[in-house]
Amino acid sequence: MNTFSKIIITVISIFIAGIIIGAFSGGHGGRAPGMINLIVFGGLFFGLRAMWKGDKKDKNDKNDDDSFLQ
């Protein structure tokens, strides 16, 4: 996934999550966030973190095919 599409998905998901969190906390008079808001925020945070996380590359795994015994 290229960087531009990650940025677009991040902006849209933050906007949608903000609407959802605002809708749930609007009925509470602006008090502390409820359990559903914390779940939505956690899902947003860990989902974006997984999307932006780079691929792990093993430094010891060389795929050169330069083996002496071949």
Domain residue ranges of the chain, discontinuous segments joined by +: 3-52
Question: What does pLDDT average to over the chain?
Answer: 79
* pLDDT for the residue numbered 23: 81
Instruction: Measure CA of the first residue to CA of the last residue in the chain; give whole Å.
Output: 36
pTM over the 0.85 mark? no
Any idea which of 9-18, 35-44, 51-60 has the lowest mean pLDDT? Answer: 51-60
DSSP-H helix ranges across 1-70 = 3-26, 35-52
What percentage of the chain has pLDDT greater than the value 70?
Answer: 67
Over residues 61-70, mean pLDDT:
61
At residue 44, the 3 state secondary structure works out as helix
Over residues 39-52, mean pLDDT:
90
